[in-house]
Each structure stands twice: as C-alpha cells, then as structure tokens.
Amino acid sequence: MDEGGTRVIPFYTLVPPHALLLDIAGPLEVIRYANGEQRDIHFDCRYIAASDEQQTSIGLALARLESLPATLPENALLLISGSTSRFDSDPGTQRERQALATWLRRAVRPDTTVISICSGALLAGEAGLFDGRNCTTHADCLEGLRRIAPLSQVAENRLFVEDGNRFSSAGISTGIDLMLHVVSRLTSPAVAARIAKTMVVYLRRSGNDPQISPWLTGRNHIHPAIHRVQDRVMAEPAQDWSLERLADIAALSERHLSRLFREQPASASSIMST
C-alpha cells in the first residue's frame, strides 16, 4: 500500500512468552529511526501475541498486544523474538509456544519476510519456516535448532544469515546488526549508516563475523596490567609493540610482564594476533 508516494510495509513483531526484551527493543529502535530518516518507505509496526499481555525476560510486562491475525498481509515483515520460555517447563507456557508454532505455519505467506532473533529461530524452525534454508541462532540453541528443523542448514558461529526472505541472527545485540542490514537492503546503505551513527553502534558487524568477538579472546583473566596492555594494543594495532613498550604501559619490568604472559598464554596470543 502506498501513501502519498511512500511505500508502507507491514511490520509485525511476534512476542512469545518471556520474550527477551532487547531482541525486540534493539531491532525496533532501528525501525523507528528508519521511519524518520527517509520517506520512501514507512514501516507500519504492530505487536502481536497469543494474549494481550506478556511478561518479558526482565519482568517488565508488555501490554495492549494485538491478537494473532488469521494470516499476514502481503509482503509483510515478521520479527520473531527470542525468549527464555524454551527453558520453562510450565505446561501453560509450552502450550502457548506450540500454539505460536501452529499459527506461524498457517499465517506466514510465501512473500512474508521472516526475521528471527536469537531463540526465535526455534519457533520459526518448528513451524518449518527454515526448511531448505540456511539459518543460524544463538550458540546455545544451535543443536536444538538442528533437532527441531532437520531440513534446514544451520550455520555455526555467524552473527546473522540471510537466505532469500529468511533472516536469522545469533540474538541479543546482533538483532541490531541484522536490522541495520535489513534496513540497508530496503532503503539504502546511507540510511543504515546514519541510523548506526545515531544509535552509537561503534562497529557495524556483518553476517560473516563470528559470534565470539576476537577482541574478547584472552580476556578472561583479572590482571589489570595485562588488560591495560591489551587495551592499548587493540586501540593502535598498527604500532610496533616491543616488549619494552608493553612493559612501560603495564608499569612492570620486562621480566615480570613476560612471566605474566607465560602464566596467561591466551592473553599473549590475543596481543600477537591483533
């Protein structure tokens, strides 16, 4: 539908029980900014659920949610949020998840663009929406997705995956990366870049980036001197970092710093690979 030359795209967000709030808020903030950054496309946002109120992962309730429509309109976008309910053994919660999977099988059209965030891929997979498609999800859910959707090709260690009109992401913060990618496709890269700047997205990540950041490799130690060295090297990786310079940053002797690196080999390798 067009309004005064603006193409209106229906954008539905499916809110499952105990939805991860950032899975919704992050991507939808991207969409909100997209509506303000350009006039070619307007995303008409609707929030739908099996009941008019849902508790989220942080205890905040989302209210005045719309009922599930019998079918989605033409060329709609459907975002499926992740949730903590996959860990919930409550029979009522599991019945509601089953009802959502049944609804997805019935309501999603061939022209519907499906966007799953985090464990939302499990609902999409259970509904057969990834059959014959490449997809991904959070690292903790990969095996579950393979079991639920054996006809899909589940990619490991990917931030997000695009296969036709099926998009899936690792979840949590990666929902922002994925939605910036979707907005870039539907509007323009320039619009997505402005949104990223406004949202202070320090580094836009691509779908091929790994889920485990290389910047965090070798960081699971508690020594402040080594953290200072790692911070400095990562800020200026092109510098010629001698042991003498690193020791000055750490405020340690070269011998002492060398001993710490031997005790924390992962921290030393993270610096060498920078």
Break the chain into its structural domains and give their ranges.
Answer: 2-198, 214-272
Q: What value does the CA radius of gyration of the chain take, rounded to a whole number of Å?
A: 22
| Amino acid code (one letter) for 263 | E
Calculate the CA dihedral of residues 110, 164, 103, 53 and round it to 10 degrees: -130
Residue 241 pLDDT class (50, 70, 90 cuts): confident
Supply φ then ψ for residue 111, to 5 degrees. -90, 5
Cβ burial of 125 (10 Å; 0-12, 13-18, 19+) is buried
State the pLDDT at residue 239: 85
pLDDT band at 223 (very low <50, low <70, confident <90, very high): confident
Q: What's residue 87's pLDDT?
A: 65
What is the average per-residue pLDDT within 100-128?
Answer: 98
Is residue 112 a contact partner of residue 165, using CB atoms and an 8 Å limit? yes
User: Rounded to whole angstroms, how far apart are CA atoms 44 and 153?
Assistant: 31
Q: Express each pLDDT in 173-205 by its tens digit.
A: 999 999 999 999 999 999 999 999 999 986 655
Per-residue pLDDT for 234 more than 70? Answer: yes
- pLDDT value, residue 227: 79
Say which CATH topology domain 2-198 has.
Rossmann fold (3.40.50)
The whole model's pTM is what?
A: 0.78
Half-sphere exposure of 64 (CA within 13 A, CB side): 1
Q: What is the pLDDT of residues 65-76, one digit of tens each?
A: 999 999 999 999
Contact 37, 74 (CB under 8 A): no
40-44, 50-54, 86-90: which has the minimum mean pLDDT?
Answer: 86-90
pLDDT in tens, 7-48: 999 999 999 999 999 999 999 999 999 999 999 999 999 999
Quick one: how many helices (H) and strands (E) in the chain? 10, 11
> Which residues are paired to 161 by β-bridges?
168
Tokens standing for residue 30: 């991207």
pLDDT at position 261 is 80
Mean of all residue pLDDT scores within the chain: 89
Q: How far apart are CA 206 and CA 178, in angstroms?
A: 8
Residue 90 CB contacts under 8 Å (≥ 6 apart), including other chains: none
- Residue 19 neighbours by CB under 8 Å, 6+ apart: 54, 56, 57, 62, 81, 82, 83
Q: Which of 128, 235, 115, 240 is nearest to 178 (CA)?
A: 115
Indicate whether 226 pLDDT > 90.
no
Q: How many residues does the chain have?
A: 274
**Average of per-residue pLDDT across 204-232:** 65
- 117-162 residue pLDDT tens: 999 999 999 999 999 999 999 999 999 999 999 999 999 989 999 9
